[in-house]
A and B are shown apart, each in its own frame.
Chain A
Amino acid sequence: MTGENTRVLVVDDEEIVRESLGGWLQEDGFQVSSAPDGRTAVELMKRERWNVMLVDLKMPGMDGLQVLEEARKLQPEAAIIMMTAYATVDTAVTAMKLGAFDYLVKPFDPEELSLLMQKVVAQQSLVRENAVLRKALKKEHRFRDLVSKSAAMQRVFELAQVAARSNSTILVLGESGSGKEVLARTIHEESPRAGGPFVAMSCAALTETLLESELFGHEKGSFTGANARRKGKFEAAAGGTLFLDEIGDISPKLQLDLLRVLEERKFQRVGGNEPIDVDVRIIAATNKDLKKAVADGSFREDLFYRLNVIPVTLPPLRERKEDIPLLVEHFLDRLEAEMKKRVKVSPEAMGALLAHDWPGNVRELRNVLERGAVVAQGDVIKPADLGLAPAPVRAPGANAPGEPVSLEEVEKRHISEVLGHTGGNVSQAARLLGIDRVTLYNKIRKFQLRRDGEDSDPSGT
């Protein structure tokens, strides 16, 4: 095995060592450079990528252990071999614990050096092969920001790709946190409308009047407080895609308004008379069972058929647990970019993630990982860092027999459980609890509960 593609950096303050070792390694075909001290080595690490670094332990200024620490941060894939004299073997052992690949005692036995370099080349080629395979696998299991290898999601990807090319209305169905908006955005980015705007709007957060004004805009003076003409989301999304989330929550009047827009491709601003042409592709989404809503009369059947041209159902995370390791890696990549911190998940923590039921789906997973990355001591997320509650086995508020609790305690537990159920989605939890968001926020604060679901933009599924 020759080292033709292997870049080696020799770091030693003795010129004769740099020269003789460099010459020996060049005969093996390695591309060798050298640095006379730790600082130069760190500078070289910042500028170029190295596969192997042979670092002298004892150097004036920055010593070998400090160089090793920097190398672990700057180039974690590189194999670091410490070079030491007999007197510092103990330190070399410490270096191994800090992540050095191996150590050599000076002067080296030629056979030992040769075997070690062969071992390191083999390891580096595995690292490279692994990176290539992971990249290929990532590409295969990816549809832009969507990550999955499950058969159900692969079918979603295929359908979404086909649907993106058409201009038809798409109805995305799936539980809260399953990535409906991410899918909508992905479809938009894959569509001929990608150059236009993507406008997202939640239909659940607003009152009927406000929602109407948000969607269609209003003319000046059309209602109290309408001090100026305002364009709505339909106009803002002109030439692009309008994503209407929680479509199952809109009032009968708005259902009718929306139906008209879909049928006539025209609308009027609130308080206006002038018809405005609609050049928008609509992607609607809901976590409700719209067929059931149609059956019980709370959702218009004609609107349902208008929206349900291409239905796409996102499976909940608990039904595609094989995606969890892939998603974990995806989110850790994201977190690395955001937090400038690379963390790993310990095998035990991965076990806990796989065992969890994920009522809040991918959004919950992302939030749990973010929390884990923040609270982890060091660069490994352990089970305790995830803050995953053990699976609840009791009914809400239930207590062990003979342990009476206060009404307040029951309220606290119930809110906590509902928040767990919604994956931290406060709006949804508030609806389930039958209280408004502000009240829920106040209670969360009062009971010092976790509020990890405020952000409703899961960036992967």
Chain B
Amino acid sequence: MEAIHLWWIGEKDPGARTLDHVRLHLGRALGTTVRIWEDPARPPDAYDTRRKQWSTSKILAWMGTAGPPGKVLAVTDQDLFIPILTFVFGEAQLGGRAAVVSTARLGEPGLPDPRVALERLAKESVHELGHCFGLVHCDTPGCVMGRSPSARDVDRKRGDFCSKCRDRVMRSGGEAR
């Protein structure tokens, strides 16, 4: 299986630990090599001045041309949106190549342990990449592909796939464990 790239496209420095944690988590869940893609380029016209948020569809389109080959997950600290929703934690091209996830709403102020936010980021990263492998939301309790419209829902999930979703990832070219 082709390596997956992890790309920081945020504003502030995420810290080596954050990206490394996500990289290891993705590698374990998908059973593949995950590499950090270092590129200072940022999506030029994805910021919506009226909403003061970043458009995921514009980011995903830009990643298709500006990013590395193969599947790629971009991580940002900017707040993301799709036009119909107030915000999203992330978005992916279903069965496609690109996915993006944001830390902006995963670590609310007053969170007692910063590791909680890091876990949430790791889970949402696996979740969005799961969509790139063609997975839709799953009803199996605890499966990382369970829908998670709130941070509480993210906390309820485990960080890996249920057996059904794992099989689907494997059938679509992944080596999930």
- Interface, chain A (partner B; CB < 8 A): 1-2, 4, 14, 16-17, 19-21, 23-24, 26-29, 83, 106-111, 113-115
A23 to B94, CA, bound (A): 8
Select one of A4, A14, A19, A108 contacting B85, CB under 8 A. A108
Q: Do the beta carbons of B82 and A24 come within 8 Å of each other?
A: yes
**Which residue from chain B places its CB closest to the CB of A105 in the assembled complex?**
B86
Q: Do the beta carbons of B137 and A20 come within 8 Å of each other?
A: no
Q: Do the beta carbons of A28 and B86 come within 8 Å of each other?
A: no
Chain B residue contacts of A28, Cβ below 8 A? 136-137, 147
Tell me, rounded to whole Å, the shortest Cβ–Cβ distance linking A108 to chain B. Answer: 5
Q: Do the beta carbons of A111 and B150 come within 8 Å of each other?
A: yes
A17 to B153, CA, bound (A): 25
Is B149 positioned at the interface, with any CB of A under 8 Å from its CB?
yes
Tell me, rounded to whole Å, the shortest Cβ–Cβ distance linking A362 to chain B. Answer: 47
Q: Do the beta carbons of A26 and B136 come within 8 Å of each other?
A: yes
**Bitwise interface map of B from 63 to 82 toward A, beta carbon under 8 Å scored 1, else 0:** 00000000000000000011
Q: Do the beta carbons of A20 and B57 come within 8 Å of each other?
A: yes
Is B118 positioned at the interface, with any CB of A under 8 Å from its CB?
no
A326 to B86, CA, bound (A): 48
A106 to B83, CA, bound (A): 9
Select one of A1, A24, A115 contacting B84, CB under 8 A. A24
User: Contacts A2-B137, A23-B94 known; A114 to B147 CB distance under 8 Å?
Assistant: yes
Tell me how many residues of B have a C-beta within 8 Å of chain A.
21
Is B37 positioned at the interface, with any CB of A under 8 Å from its CB?
no
Chain A residue contacts of B94, Cβ below 8 A? 23, 26-27
Tell me, rounded to whole Å, the shortest Cβ–Cβ distance linking B131 to chain A. Answer: 6
Most buried by A among B81, B84, B85, B149: B84
A27 to B94, CA, bound (A): 7
Chain A residue contacts of B57, Cβ below 8 A? 16, 19-20, 23
Is B139 positioned at the interface, with any CB of A under 8 Å from its CB?
yes
**Bitwise interface map of B from 101 to 140 toward A, beta carbon under 8 Å scored 1, else 0:** 0000000000000000000000000000001000011110
Chain B residue contacts of A2, Cβ below 8 A? 136-139
In the A-B complex, list the 3 residue pairs whose CB atoms are closest, starting with the nearest: A110-B149, A29-B136, A20-B82
In the complex, besides A24-B84, A24-B85, A110-B86, 18 extra interface pairs with C-beta distance below 8 angstroms are A2-B137, A2-B138, A16-B83, A17-B83, A17-B84, A20-B85, A27-B92, A27-B136, A27-B147, A28-B136, A29-B136, A29-B137, A109-B86, A110-B85, A111-B149, A111-B150, A111-B153, A113-B85
Chain B residue contacts of A24, Cβ below 8 A? 82, 84-85
**Which residue from chain B places its CB closest to the CB of A16 in the assembled complex?**
B83
Tell me, rounded to whole Å, the shortest Cβ–Cβ distance linking B55 to chain A. Answer: 9
Q: Do the beta carbons of B86 and A107 come within 8 Å of each other?
A: yes
A109 to B153, CA, bound (A): 14
**Which residue from chain B places its CB closest to the CB of A54 in the assembled complex?**
B84
**Bitwise interface map of B from 136 to 157 toward A, beta carbon under 8 Å scored 1, else 0:** 1111000000010110010000
Tell me, rounded to whole Å, the shortest Cβ–Cβ distance linking B2 to chain A. Answer: 23
Most buried by B among A14, A17, A24: A24
Tell me, rounded to whole Å, the shortest Cβ–Cβ distance linking A19 to chain B. Answer: 7
A108 to B139, CA, bound (A): 22
Is B87 positioned at the interface, with any CB of A under 8 Å from its CB?
yes
Tell me, rounded to whole Å, the shortest Cβ–Cβ distance linking A291 to chain B. Answer: 66
Is B88 positioned at the interface, with any CB of A under 8 Å from its CB?
yes
Tell me, rounded to whole Å, the shortest Cβ–Cβ distance linking A230 to chain B. Answer: 73
A109 to B138, CA, bound (A): 20
Complex A-B: 26 CB contacts under 8 Å? A2-B139, A16-B83, A17-B83, A17-B84, A20-B57, A20-B85, A23-B57, A24-B84, A26-B94, A26-B136, A27-B92, A27-B147, A28-B136, A28-B147, A29-B137, A83-B84, A107-B81, A107-B83, A107-B86, A108-B84, A108-B85, A109-B149, A110-B85, A113-B84, A113-B85, A114-B149
Q: Do the beta carbons of B149 and A113 come within 8 Å of each other?
A: yes
Most buried by A among B138, B139, B147: B147
Chain B residue contacts of A114, Cβ below 8 A? 147, 149
Chain B residue contacts of A4, Cβ below 8 A? 136
Q: Do the beta carbons of A108 and B136 come within 8 Å of each other?
A: no
Chain A residue contacts of B149, Cβ below 8 A? 109-111, 113-115
